[in-house]
């Protein structure tokens, strides 16, 4: 992870959070919610975005009573692998996501949402076969059993991150509250990718020095969390079924897709 160049963003984000925290009326729930946290490893769908190093993350969300919501979220990233065969687009040090969506209730227990998110990476090349920025639309359903909550999400991008073209993601998540402010959080996801023909990258793996885009891979998370004095603590196990050789061919580094334990400390308000 690289912090260079992110001090202005981090300071500005903290200032915004502080302003909202002071202005919030305790008697009336604010339509603006936020979060700020530190994680030992930022993983996106099972793959490290920070070379297995820590990240500072935060965001704000506005939710209207009509069901509309919008917001932003940011994290530092590092896409410059130490053992990459070909180095491309390695200047991005920040991910900045903007989301807008609309949701509602089907019943007291069942809710739905459709969101559109733009994933932005300032400093990366905005065009070409190895572009980073992409859009994704994500419909989801959540059923609250009371003793547990189940989420099903589908995400689709017509022009996914990097050398991939189309990207489709299907995920099922389980959240189980436990006594003493503990909770279990788990999900299982499948990511399908289609190579960009312009990149010339094969979807058939050849060897560890041949770049490629996998047709699909499975990723998962199993975590336990606890609230302590208003601060969230989570210890989670992430993993994928991508081998070390294929991870190096796909990500430029063999250990970015490996199973890993991640500690996250966050504050929501």
pLDDT for position 249: 85
| Dihedral sign (CA 131, 80, 259, 180) | negative
Domain 7-268 in this protein, CATH class: mainly beta
Residue 36 has pLDDT above 70, yes or no: yes
Residue 98 has pLDDT above 60, yes or no: yes
Torsion on CA atoms 144, 157, 189, 51, rounded to nearest 10: -120
Show the tokens assigned to 137. 């639309």
pLDDT digits (tens, 9 = 90+) for 108-149: 999 999 999 999 998 776 555 567 899 999 999 999 999 999
**Distances from the Cα of 174 to the Cα of 10, 177, 192, 216, angstroms:** 32, 10, 22, 22
pLDDT for position 124: 79
pLDDT for position 145: 96
pLDDT digits (tens, 9 = 90+) for 140-156: 999 999 999 999 999 99
Whole-model pTM?
A: 0.84
Enumerate the domain spans of the chain: 7-268
**% residues pLDDT > 70 (the chain):** 78
């Amino acid at each position: 992870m690289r912090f260079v160049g992110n001090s202005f963003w981090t300071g500005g984000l903290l200032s915004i959070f502080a302003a909202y925290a002071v202005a919030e009326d305790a008697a009336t729930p604010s339509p603006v919610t936020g979060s700020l946290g530190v994680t030992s490893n930022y993983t996106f769908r099972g793959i490290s975005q920070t070379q297995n190093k820590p990240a500072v993350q935060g965001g704000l969300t506005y939710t209207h009573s009509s069901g509309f919501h919008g917001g932003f979220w940011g994290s530092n990233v590092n896409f410059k692998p130490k053992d990459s065969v070909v180095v491309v687009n390695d200047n991005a040090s920040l991910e900045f996501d903007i989301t807008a969506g609309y949701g509602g209730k089907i019943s007291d227990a069942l809710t739905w949402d459709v969101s559109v998110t733009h994933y932005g990476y300032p400093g990366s090349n905005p065009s070409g076969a190895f572009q980073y920025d992409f859009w994704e639309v994500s419909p989801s359903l959540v059923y609250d059993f009371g003793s547990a909550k189940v989420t099903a999400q589908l995400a689709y991008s017509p022009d996914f991150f990097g050398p991939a073209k189309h990207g489709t993601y299907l995920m099922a998540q389980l959240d189980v509250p436990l006594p003493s402010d503990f909770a279990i959080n788990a999900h299982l996801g499948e990511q399908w990718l289609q190579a960009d023909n312009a990149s010339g990258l094969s979807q058939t793996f050849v060897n560890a020095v041949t770049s490629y885009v996998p047709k699909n891979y499975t990723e998962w998370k199993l975590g336990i969390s606890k609230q302590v004095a208003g601060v969230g603590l989570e210890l989670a196990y992430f993993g994928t079924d991508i081998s070390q050789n294929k991870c190096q061919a796909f990500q430029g580094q063999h250990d970015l897709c490996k199973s890993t334990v991640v500690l996250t400390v966050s504050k929501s308000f």
